[in-house]
Amino acid sequence: MLSNSSKYALKAVIYLALHTDVNNKMLAKDISERINVPKAYMAKLLQGLAKRKIISSAKGPKGGFYSNPSNKNVTLLEVVEVIDGEKKLESCFLGLDDCNEHKPCPIHSLISPSRSKMIALLESTTIYDLSKDLELNKVFLPV
């Protein structure tokens, strides 16, 4: 459903929200080991996420990647979209240019409600929301 890149990005963003802040940064290398993602690829992804303000970064000694309060307010959907693009999840099942109610394909009415629900949840859940659940041990973060 998602690309590897999006999965890696989500894991990294969630991990950073849980384990870092401006005073506790983390190296790309260490993040990659913790969440089990290829090192060099992780670094490239993190740089892209930082450029788009999904996470924060600092160069030089004592530098690294981290999550600040503003970063924790990004939604899960935003993370997916900066990597996989806007239409990865919303696109038509039959490849129509536009997926909407006005000119729906035969599958649209069938799956649109549940798919929209799922997307709406991803859109309304922030990294902060998730990390709360994790801190309360409601769920665990896999690597």
Residues that bind a second copy (CB under 8 A): 1-2, 4, 7-8, 10-11, 14, 76, 88-89, 91-96, 103-111, 114-115, 117-118, 121-122, 125, 130, 133-134, 139-142
| Least separation in angstroms between CB 29 and ligand FES | 25
With CB under 5 to 8 Å by kind, the binding choice for 117 among DNA, ligand FES, a second copy, none is a second copy
- The answer to whether residue 46 forms part of the interface with DNA (CB under 7 A) is yes
Q: Coil, strand or helix: which one is 76?
A: helix
Distance CA 116, CA 93 (A): 13
- What is the per-residue burial (b if ≥16 Cβ within 10 Å, else e) of 59-75? eeeeebbbbeeebbebb
Say if residues 91 and 44 touch (Cβ distance below 8 Å): no
Contact residue for ligand FES among 2, 18, 50, 96 (CB under 6 A): 96
Q: Which of 22, 58, 94, 143 binds ligand FES (CB under 6 A)?
A: 94
Torsion over CA: 105, 111, 122, 48 (sign):
negative
Backbone angles phi, psi at 11, to 5 degrees: -60, -45
Closest CA to 110 of 121, 94, 98, 87: 94
Q: Specify the stretch interacting with ligand FES by CB under 6 A; choose among 44-52, 62-70, 96-104, 118-126.
A: 96-104
Residue 83 tokens, joined: 């990597």
Chain residues in the site for ligand FES (CB under 6 A): 92-94, 96, 99, 104-105, 107-108, 112
Chain residues in the site for DNA (CB under 7 A): 3-5, 8, 25-29, 38-41, 43-44, 46-47, 50-51, 57-65
